[in-house]
Every structure is written in C-alpha cells, then in structure tokens.
Amino acid sequence: MEQKSLLEMPVGAGGRVIGYRRGHEVYRQKLLAMGLTVGCEFTLRRFAPLGDPVEIEVRGYKLSLRKQEAAVLLVEGV
C-alpha cells in the first residue's frame, strides 16, 4: 500500500499507522500517548466543517485530532 497523510484519506476509509513525519517529536509523543502506535488500525469518521479537527475511531473510542497532529501521522489504507 501507499504511504500518505491521514488528511488525504476519504471519510469512512480504514487505515493503519505506519510511522510519523520527522521533526515533530512533541506531536509524535502525544499521538503515542493517545494509542496511535505503529500498526494500529483506525477508521476516519469525519472532518469538521472547516476541516479542523479530524475524528477517527481507534481502539474502540473516537478521537479528535487537530490538522497539525493528523499531518504528522503516516498511514496506509486497509
């Protein structure tokens, strides 16, 4: 599968975290603490009307991420 940003995925699509962009250590640590580890699967639920925040369902709960946080995630579709 192709590596892309979470922001490039369509609503309703499933994905898997495959890594994090370099140079965003603070966001990376925050995402790890929220359970977004490499290999973790999620479903993109919705974008807010102005695109920020983004809601995903991961590990049985809904999680809202700001655009800056979501852009750090490298994902692939499943």
Could you give the residue ranges of the DSSP H alpha helices within the chain? 25-33, 67-72
What is the Cα–Cα distance from 30 to 45, expressed in whole angstroms?
A: 20
Q: How far apart are the first and last CA of the chain?
A: 8
Tell me, what's the pLDDT at 24?
80
Position 11 scores a pLDDT of 93
**Tens-place pLDDT, residues 1-60:** 578 888 889 999 999 999 998 888 888 898 999 899 999 999 999 999 887 899 999 999
Tell the burial category of 43 from Cβ atoms under 10 Å away from its Cβ (0-12, 13-18, 19+): middle
Question: Hey, what domains does the chain have and what are their CATH numbers?
Answer: 4-77 (2.30.30.90)
The residue type of 9 is M
Nearest to 24 by CA among 77, 75, 74, 76: 74
pLDDT at 1: 58
pLDDT at residue 74, as a whole number: 92
pTM above 0.85, yes or no: no
